[in-house]
Structure 1
């Protein structure tokens, strides 16, 4: 089975010749515990979706499971639960207690983020960048007031760039799933779902995520 991801640190990235990241670690453990063969490939997101929809034994992860996508795939979920919040520099004068508090601030995020869709539907204007890491530099240089990012991503890039951030408000929880081609054997899907449940129960998922905080 081919397991398809886009390059998106800290969830999936190449370090030398090795694939690393939260998503990589979770899916590797999942398939190994289920005793199912797999191959990891990092490809552009649109291509990953098309391959998973049209080619047998292809899955894409992490994917937001929505009503529009429900009938297009077989699902193993939730493979990842992410919490998104607002982050400022540690010495920022801004205090954010409700989501309305950021409405007049310069908010940074990256193109293609589900966070952007959520905030724009609420009427917020977002300053976009092509790479998530750029938002750390924009915060440090006061080109934005606040960064909308998930807890793992913000912690990862803050440490990488030696920047001290202040977590102001967690306002959104998102469930991510493994989306597999419709011709994937149902017994494989059921086995993966059962193993995933056990990985939450024994703390494996939490342990993997903590390594990237």
Structure 2
């Protein structure tokens, strides 16, 4: 009996050596069109987020691939499917428990823009309550304004709001400041400075709650090292400088 048990043990160990290791599936990282953070171009994906992801996953030694979806759909996929993440999205109380977070990846400031002068100046956010405000699906700032009872009209992407503003279909446009400047440059529209800068948020990468601890700690450790050695500052400075040079 002892001999049989020993034989079975040896056979089990030997078989285990022959079996291939279980290889973790590459992560699918969802982002969305929001220049200059992420864009699909003829010569490949580009933007601050694309460069950030390349460095982050290289340091973490994790395979990944990037796909573009509208933000609202990307958030649903990352919440429902394992091995999915989405970025950049704003962290807030409603979303906090739905994902496992890697961040922050950027700090964003938001303002209100108009196509025509307003009769009354915007001193506080409350002064904008009587106006229609454009945002886009999945935008944390749009959700924030809706939660406060503002009249918000949502589009599938941020660029459509510039057109709606020009056609007087909305009174104000709520946008992240860097993205707003970039979109104005691309569409050759000068809306000037925001009438009111009213919100600052932390944006991060949100991953499925089942993300293994090993992956989570590898990514958070990699991001921390990118802040510590100055990579993140250089990346943000690069895009800020390029934007100022292009305007």
TM-score scaled to structure 2, two decimals?
0.72
Question: 1:5 and 1:88, CA in 2 relative to 1: closer, same or farther beyond 3 A?
Answer: same
Matched with 1:59 is 85
* Partner residue in 2 for 1:145: 171
Q: Is the counterpart of residue 156 in structure 1 residue 174 in structure 2?
A: no
Once the two structures are superposed, residues 18-51 of structure 1 have per-residue CA deviations (whole angstroms, 9 ceiling, x without a partner) of 1123322222221123333222222454654455
Asked if the contact 1:109–1:128 (Cα under 8 Å) also holds between the matched residues in 2, the reply is yes
Structure with greater proportional helix content = 2
Give 3-state SS (helix, strand or coil) of 2:195's partner. Answer: strand
Bigger drift between 149-158 and 121-130 goes to 121-130
Mapping 1:1-213, distance limit 5 Å: 1-10=26-35, 11-16=37-42, 18-45=44-71, 48-49=74-75, 51-53=77-79, 55-89=81-115, 92-93=117-118, 95-165=121-191, 166-201=193-228, 202=230, 203-207=233-237, 209-210=239-240, 211=242
Q: Which runs of 5+ in 1 are unaligned?
A: none
CA offsets 1:125-158 (integer angstroms, 9 cap, x no match): 1233333212212333334332111112211111
Cα offset, 1:122, TM superposition:
1.8
Cα offset, 1:61, TM superposition: 1.9
Aligned pair in 2 of structure 1 residues 45, 119: CA closer, same or farther (>3 Å)? closer
Cα distance in 1 between the residues matched to 2:213 and 2:145: 37
> Would you say how many aligned residue pairs link Structure 1 and Structure 2?
212
> How far apart are the structure 2 equivalents of 1:111 and 1:50?
12
Worse overlay, 155-164 or 75-84: 75-84
Residue range with higher mean Cα deviation, 166-175 or 191-200:
191-200
Report the structure, 1 or 2, having the larger strand content. 1
Runs of 4+ aligned residues of structure 1 deviating over 6 Å after TM superposition are none
Q: C-alpha separation between the residues in 2 aligned to 1:164 and 1:192?
A: 39
Distance 1:135 1:114 in 2: 16
User: Tell me, which stretches of 5 or more residues in structure 2 are unaligned?
Assistant: 1-25
Query: Structure 2: how far apart are the matches of 1:121 and 1:53?
Result: 21
Q: CA deviation at 1:53?
A: 4.3
